Amino acid sequence: MHKLLMLLCWLCGSMMAEAQQQHARGVVSGAVLDSVSQSPIQGVRVSIESDTVTAKTNQYGLFRIDVPAGSTLLVFEHPGYATKTVPLNHYDRMLIELSPTAKNPGNDADIAKAKARARFAHSSNPNYGNVGMGVAAFFDETYGKLFENKFVDAVKNDHSSFALDVDRAAYSNMRRFVKLREHIPVDAVRIEELVNYFHYSYPAPKGDSTFVLYSHYTDCPWTPKHNLLEIAVRAKQIETDSLPASNLVFLIDISGSMGTANKLPLLQAAFRVLVNNLRPRDRVAIVAYAGAPGLVLPCTPGNEKEKILNAIDYLSAGGATAGEAAIKMAYQIAEENFIPNGNNRVIMATDGDFNVGQTSDQDMEDLILQKKESGVLLTCLGFGMKDYKDSKLETLSSKGNGNFAYIDDMEEANKVFAREFGSTLFTVARDVRAEITFNPKRVKAYRLIGYENKVLKEDNSNGEKIVGGIVGSGNCVVALYEIVPEEPDGEGLLATTRISYRTEQDTTLRTLTKAIGEPLEIFAAAPDDFRFAASVALFGMLVKKSGYKGEGTINMVSNIAKRSLGPDKGGYRAEFLKLIKLVRKNTTWLK
């Protein structure tokens, strides 16, 4: 009898322990990518083998699922992909790749389909909601006022000078307006950022040179009596393995304004891409801020990805926005962990809607000019709509030796943090400025297209505020001038170009000079890169309703772009053609 009671007690205890074990739960999170296109896959059903618990990946391919203790396998299912069963490994965060079931999955058509699936499949995962994506309302966005550059008489002033950088935020922001069928604010269009969004195939400099210069001079398609001069500056490409160690501080806005799905959830997904590209010698700290800033993650080696991703994944939005205090804290941490000759950088991700402490654009400019002297660079990432403060982020990046991108979807996050990892985060030159001296015997007048807020005055009255920009590894910076030629055309050089800069390792001011003496070419026979850049510049003038668009039309933009696609690495030029079609359907934008 005693033994029977002991047996019953043991059985009851075992059953209770098993029941408790079944109800004890852990959480597994991760991301699912297409194995061919490396795009996130939305709508993947994630389930636990022999259990009823399921979840689905959201628009950014992310999932989070409760896992009963003792579970051993996760199953990933999607109609367009081969089902995959993956062992659980101590609830580690997962990065899963699924293979498309289409024939020849590596071809362009299948890659396009994979990307389409990733963007438009339905999601039901409650942990990363998509409610609010694509809301076509813009009530309180701010943009810095731009006044177009005018034609300058070359006899009165033969010298043009401007800061060179490769910000690209205006293009992806403009794309957001076009896709949502919204009118594009005129001041949101910074033409140089549209032109420099694209890849150009000009060869990199040889040997130890930091830059190489290229130029082309043709007739101007939108004003036949004028000509068009292109100056392209290509920076040296540093291989990823040779890039210096990084000391990064992620400065992440978690205020209440970041609570919509196209802000913090997209931000978290974007930073996952960056973290997956970190190397063991890199290190990361995370400062999150709402009403006050806080250190979410102390300085952590780049190979401790799970620890970094955990800190990112469990951020949530709420409260006011203390941008001033957060910037000061982020710079302080970056300075405390400074790597000599390394890549020391604050990466600020926000909608720019600061409302605690110093908040005006001028306040932010004064603050960042002080921090600039620390040797810590700044990358600004803009997110969201309605209350997006482009003017503030553009000010911060331009005054703080920084660069600026706008993340409108995961494709852009992959472009910025994966495909262009080196050029986004690693600077080869700073204080970069271009100085072009025109020959009045050949040039009657000239006009710089774009770069309005980067022009350096001859009397240096704004020189203290704008000394130059930064250029990243492998970047190609393109500038276009519309030229009124002197008649008859005189002799000698057309112009002389001088690029001045400092390298990251040396404060010495260096220069590179090129004499531009090319004869006038026919535009139609010019290289693809030149013609495509011209088509983007004309597009920018049209959507800005520029008074300098001449005879240019959206059909002219389309025709030039179609004939100058070239190799089109990444498919960005083809995407531009699709944007042109959308603009053509909404002709009121161009009136």
Per-residue pLDDT reduced to its tens digit, 338-392: 999 899 999 999 887 765 445 455 666 777 777 777 788 888 889 888 778 888 8
How far, in Å, are 201, 251, 512 from residue 45 at the CA level?
A: 41, 33, 56
Q: pLDDT digit string (tens) for 387-441?
A: 788 888 887 787 767 788 998 888 888 888 888 877 788 889 988 999 999 999 9
Distance CA 299, CA 317 (A): 23
Question: What sections of 83-146 are H helices per DSSP?
Answer: 108-120
Looking at the domain 23-121, which fold is it?
Immunoglobulin-like (2.60.40)
Q: What percent of the chain has pLDDT over 90?
A: 42
pLDDT interval class at 318 (50, 70, 90)? confident
| Residue of 447, 481, 445, 454 lying closest to 216 (CA atoms) | 481
Which residue type sits at 34? Answer: D
**SS3 per residue for 264-325:** HHHHHHHHHHHHHCCCCCCEEEEEEECCCEEEEEEEEECCCHHHHHHHHHCCCCCCCCCHHH
Residue 218 has pLDDT above 70, yes or no: yes
Q: Is 333 helix (H, G, I), strand (E, B) or coil?
A: helix
Averaged pLDDT for residues 557-578: 94
> 23-121 and 152-238+428-590 share one CATH topology?
yes
Residue 586 has pLDDT above 50, yes or no: yes
Residue 23 has pLDDT above 50, yes or no: no
The pLDDT of residue 393 is 83
pLDDT interval class at 93 (50, 70, 90)? low
Which helix or strand (DSSP H or E) is residue 170 part of? helix 169-179
pTM summary value: 0.77
The pLDDT of residue 555 is 95
Q: pLDDT digit string (tens) for 277-307?
A: 899 999 999 999 887 788 999 999 999 999 9
Residue 466 has pLDDT above 90, yes or no: no
DSSP state of 343: E
Residue 30 has pLDDT above 90, yes or no: no
**SS3 per residue for 173-185:** HHHHHHHCCCCCC
- Residue range 152-238+428-590 forms a domain whose CATH class is mainly beta
Residue ranges of the domains in the chain? 23-121, 152-238+428-590, 242-425
Which helix or strand (DSSP H or E) is residue 402 part of? strand 402-406
More confident residue, 262 or 479: 479
Superfamily (CATH) of domain 242-425: von Willebrand factor, type A domain (3.40.50.410)
Q: pLDDT digit string (tens) for 178-208?
A: 988 888 888 999 999 999 999 999 999 999 8
And the tokens for 118? Answer: 């990733």
Residue 556 has pLDDT above 90, yes or no: yes
Q: pLDDT digit string (tens) for 101-116?
A: 864 444 444 444 444 3
